[in-house]
Chain A
Amino acid sequence: MNGFLQALLLQAGYNTALVTVGAAILGASAGAIGSFVLLRKRALVSDAISHATLPGLALAFIIMAGLSGDGRWLPGLMIGAGISAGLGLLVVDWLTARTRLAEDAAIGAVLSVFFGAGVVLMTVIQTLQTGRQAGLSGYLLGSTAGMLRSEAQIIAIAAAVTGLAIFLLRRPFTLVCFDAEYAAVRGINVRATDLAMMGLLMAVTVIGLKVAGLVLIVALTIIPPVAARFWTDRPGRMVVIAAMIGAVAAWLGAVVSSLDRGLPTGSLIVLFSFALFVVSMLLSPRRGLLAGIAHRLRFQGLVHERQGLIALARAEPIYDSQTLRRLKARGWIRPDGVATLKGRAAAAAAQRDEARWSLYRNLHPEAAAGSPSQGIRPLAEVLPPDLIADLDRRLGAGSDFHEVRI
């Protein structure tokens, strides 16, 4: 635990700290660009991109091993991965635009074929005599163990630059995500914006290969945005929250992975993201599961109270046990079921409100049907006082409300 705290607070050596910070910046960038990609409804494109890096990675390794004897130079591998990922992206676009295939089939075809080609090249590498091939297996599942200081620096700086680019392009991205046609009218080049979005997604993927691994990097661009979606309906905030979730998950993943062998970084980052996603899904006050259940229970209670009061006003017997329980809890009936004074007042008020509602429904059926408060909240809380006064005038202040129901 001591080791965990040390690593968490960046006290476990310069290299570990650098890797942790680099991973967190990467997680933030991935969460931010992933939000836009999710809003553009192209979340799984990143799956194709990440798998499509493998042949480029392997080819770059083979070329560098042939030239210098060591194929592990990170920038070279990144360039190779970037080129083949870009090619994969172009093929997805081409298949979707020029043939009858839908995007999902294009994504699946590109990811499996590129990955297959990459595997072929990987077996070629295994037969090479030189090149220090052991360094390449870390790209499949992500590994920060034994990462060089220069590599961690490159990852941190590249991820920060990518994050800055996402920040600068946030306005055109948001516009294109929500209304591409309006964006075009406003003079934004939609095609170029899409291209930039996919380019940045690709950059994040390539930068993150070493940390998260190419099978799992897709999770960093999907899970944090989906989790962030629970907390807000505003795109700007969603991007920020997704970036924070991504950064926290990557930070924790890198820290825990540095503690022991057999703790692959990519898997840990993904599992921490998923944990944050589950927390968001359960606890978010807006769209969370618990908030939804609480809302439903509250709504149910209100309906029971309302129906109970109306039954009291009409002197009808009440059988439903939940209604009885709620009325008792509010002090509106005595344990033997007879209405208290307070209960009779509340029942009369409910009765009067019901009459208002029913008249309102008759006069303005569409407005009434569109109101989410129908039959639950007192109409006086929904409509302005002058409209209520008008309704009351029509009802006739002292008349028997039963007669108004039609």
Chain B
Amino acid sequence: MEYTGAEIIIKTLIDEGVDTLFGYPGGAVIDIYNALYNYRDQIRHIRPSHEQGGAHAADGYSRSTGKTGVVLATSGPGATNLVTGIATAYMDSIPMVCITGNAASHLIGKDAFQEIDIFGATMSVTKHNFMITDIADLQDTIRRAFKIANSGRKGPVLIDVPKDFTQLKYPYEKKESLPIDGKHKIVQSDLEKFAEIINQAERPIIYAGGGINSSDSSQELRALMDKAMIPAVNTIMAIGVLGPLDQLNLGMVGMHGKNSSNYSIEHSDLVIALGTRFSDRVALNTKHFAPDAKIIQVDIDQSEIDKNVVVDFEIVGDLKEILAEILSLIEEKDRKDWLAQIEEFRKEDYQPPNGSDSIEPYKIIRHVAEYFGEDLIFVTDVGQHQMWTAQYCARTKPRTFLTSGGLGTMGFGFGASIGAKAGNPDKPVVLISGDGSFTMNMNELKTAVDHQINTITIILNNHALGMVRQWQNLLYDQRYSETDIDHSFDYVKLAEAFGAKGYSCATITEFKAAFADATTQNKPIIIEAIIDKDELVLPMIPAGGTVEDIIME
């Protein structure tokens, strides 16, 4: 039987298991929406206020569920509005399929109304992209997009569909989903050598990255840590993957990581890098990263080997498979001396000051984390609040901390929290944001209200673009150029205007009361917590620095 291209798109998405679609209607996709009308009981469609929010929502859905996020936008501005969202997903290797409409194919290249070369524009921020030139390719291309998004190192894929291909008819015979590939053949001798290096090390440390999430290998990682008593640090992309908060789980490393994590890397004789890319926020100074250590690496992406830091030995392949196979080759150890040394490092960890009723960010974050427990999904925007949340969120499960790590996209959070809640309706989702980030995409509050997606948003309001201001404070002679946000903004009225519930608090007692009340409400929540403008994210190692340069106050 013949279907329009629009119907083929929707049918293929359903057959790929898509049950949630983030999208925004427009002229070039009107036929796709017309087709969607017939399938609205099978696909939940969530319309953001702005396509960027839709892209972040699809991303947040994917990060929190492990499934592919799907976003649909019209041509021209609809498509370009996706770009920041796609780039955010690309930098953090998040599988997404993005479908854009475009002008009809006879108008392509003629500067038609709302025509844009989104194929060209997104080439460098997608794993791959397609432009449909034949309706016969439509189903195959969508299926290939899902395969590419999820094969090897994951990432976003875009399909641009000129309008006429949504209107033409073609037979639809359901095909199977394409198998995910990218499994590299693992050579036994490589595993043996890898294990031997680990067995010979006296002071090994695991440096775990977002690849542990992508490959779903958190349990395999923990088994390795426990068997050989290897302590581990994590990047911001790997918050939650190290499991229980114990002596082996050292927490976050890098610019705002724990002293003990950074010292442990510094003093180790072996760094075991798993699914991570030695970014400039961790290997702040690549020349002095782990100066006394051998470095070995496992990554699914060959191009991550020797990219930022040259390693001594590597295995390219799937982490889950490699960690599972290597376990039997790893010797049990107790590593008493090394762990004792790390306990000494821990004594030098930064402790936040404890004023009784003062409203420091860490108290807010700890309170929320303790209240909701391990299933809580924390989402952040970008800036100081992001780092405070990373430091104090105490996540012990994968996919419970969603943040824009690579691109550092302010405005990511609200859309992402909507996507996370849409994908996890039974789990609490709390966005910690800042006044700068929140106002970038606060229009998505409307989306949350419209779709009854009841997230809690806590705005740590320091009336400043805090992270830039912190750098100006510490590194630019307190010349606060354009980082003070002096306007008074009534977040309570704002929330009410959108149909959400708002609170404002200036002490921790007020915050706890507001939060307790918020948990009884059945609508999206905005809680403004007014914090000190001069609050710093500590510790801090300035860009390009080493542990010698740690700033503690």
Q: Do A and B bind each other?
A: no
Chain A residues within CB distance 8 Å of chain B: none
